[in-house]
Chain A
Amino acid sequence: MGKFLKNFGLGLVYIVLLPILLAILVLFAVYGLGVCIYLFFASMIRFFQGKEMFPMLPEDVKVAEIKKAQMDAQMGTPAPMAPQAASPAGPSTVYVQQNYYQGQKENGAAQPSAPQAALPHNEPIDTTGYFKSAPQPPVLDVTTPSAPQLSNESKPQAIPQNTTPEPTAYIDISHDDEAKGDKQ
C-alpha cells in the first residue's frame, strides 16, 4: 500500500513538474547542440593544423606521468630474491633438473625440448597451460662461496702440504702372531 501511494504521489509530482522538466530538457538539448557544433569545428581546425583532434587535458598528462613514474619505480627495484639454502660443509654443486616440456608430440608422448626463445610479453597464453614467454628454467647454484682474496702483504706464507702422503715408517706386523705364541 505504501509503495502504491508513493508511486501515486510521484506521478502527481511528475505531472506538476513535467512542463519544467521538458523545458530543462529542451534547453539542454539546445546547449548540447551548441557544444557539439563548437567541438566539431574546434576539432576540425586542430585536425587540419596537423594536431590531435582531442588532445589530452593537462590533468590527464599529469596523471599519466605519475603512473609512469610509479611504474618505473616498481620496475627499477630489484626483484625479491629467494632465500638461499644453507650451504653444506663440503663443496657441492646441486643441479636442479627441470622437466620442462614445451608441449606434447602428436603421438601424445611428452618429450623434453630445448627452451624456446623469449617471446614478447603480449603473446597470448598457450593453451597447453604454459606461458610462451616464460623465463628459462632456473638452475640453482648452491656452491659454497669462495673464500675472500687476501692481498700479498698480509698473505701468510703458504704452508707446504704433501698432497700425496708417503709413509715415513713402516711397522712390521708380520711376526706379531709368533711373538704372542712365545709368551704363552
Chain B
Amino acid sequence: MNFWTYIEVSMSDNDRKLLIVFLVILVLLFILLGLIGMLIRYTMQQQAKRIDYYMHDPVVYHVIDNPEHFRRYGYVVNNRLLYHQALVPFILGAISLILYIAYAASTNNWTEDYFGHFSSLFIVLDWGNPQYYAQFWGIKLLSSWPGVYSYPNPQAAYWASYVLVPLWLTTIVYYLVVIQAFFARLILLNRRSRTVYEKSLEGYNYYGSVTNYQPGYPQQNPVNQPMNNPPQNPPFPPNFPRH
C-alpha cells in the first residue's frame, strides 16, 4: 500500500507562485504581530510602574506588612487610578452621546449609517469583488490587490458623522489604553505582593549562624539576596593541624 496514493499533490505554476506569496505574507504578518506585541508589552511595563509610586511609601514605612494587606491596598489605589484616568474618555463619550441624541432627534433618523458616511473621507477598496480572489486547495484567497471602490468625496450633509465617528473612535481607543494600564498595574501588584515579602533560605547555613550567637538577633540577613550574606562558615583556625 503506497502512502502517496492517499495524498494527491498536484500544483500548477500558478498555485506554486500563490503558495510562495502566501508564505511570504504570512511570515511578514507574524513578524509584524510580534513587533506589535513587543511594543504593547513595553508600553504595559511603563504603565505598570506608576503603581510603584503609590505603593512605595506605605511599604517602606512598614505600614503595610503582609501580602494580603498589600494587595487590598493596591486594588483600592488601582481602582482610584482607573477612575481618574478614565474620566477623559468618559467625558468624550458623554459629549458624543449628547451630540448623537441631539442630532438623531432633530433629524428624526435613528438608523443613519455614520461609519458609512465617514468612509466618504477616504479611499475605499473593492474588497467584495470576487474577481480579486482565487481558489487555492479549496480555500478562497486574495490573489491581487483590490481595485478602488470609491475616492474621497466629502459631503456637507454628513457633518454629524465626521464629528461623531472620530469622537467614538477616540473614546474607545483611549478607554482601551486606560484599561490596558489598569491590567498592567494589576499584574505588577500581584507580582510585587509575592516578591516584596518573600523570605528565602537561599545561601543560609544554620551552623554558620551558630557562632557568635546573640539571642534575639538574626545572624544572617534573610533577605533573598544570597550574594549579600556574609560567609556562612567560620574561618579555619590558623594553628589547626591540617592533613
Contact = CB atoms under 8 A, between A and B. Distances in A.
Interface of A: 4, 6-15, 24-25, 28-29, 32, 35-36, 39-40, 54, 57, 59-60, 62-63, 66-67
A63 B182 CA distance: 24
Given A29-B176, A29-B179, A35 B32 contact: no
Contacts of A28: 179, 182-183
Contacts of A4: 31
B230 interface: no
Interface in B26-47: 27, 29-38
Interface residues of B, number: 32
B86 A63 contact: no
Summarize B's interface: helix, strand, loop or mixed: helix
Contacts of A57: 73, 76-77
Given A29-B179, A54-B80, 20 more contacts: A6-B34, A7-B35, A7-B38, A8-B31, A10-B33, A11-B31, A14-B34, A25-B180, A28-B179, A32-B179, A35-B79, A36-B82, A36-B86, A39-B79, A57-B73, A57-B76, A59-B64, A60-B58, A62-B58, A63-B63
Contacts of A59: 58, 63-64, 73
A66 B137 CA distance: 73
A57 B33 CA distance: 42
Contacts of A9: 34
Interface of B: 27, 29-38, 57-58, 61, 63-64, 73, 76-77, 79-80, 82-83, 86, 90, 175-176, 178-180, 182-183
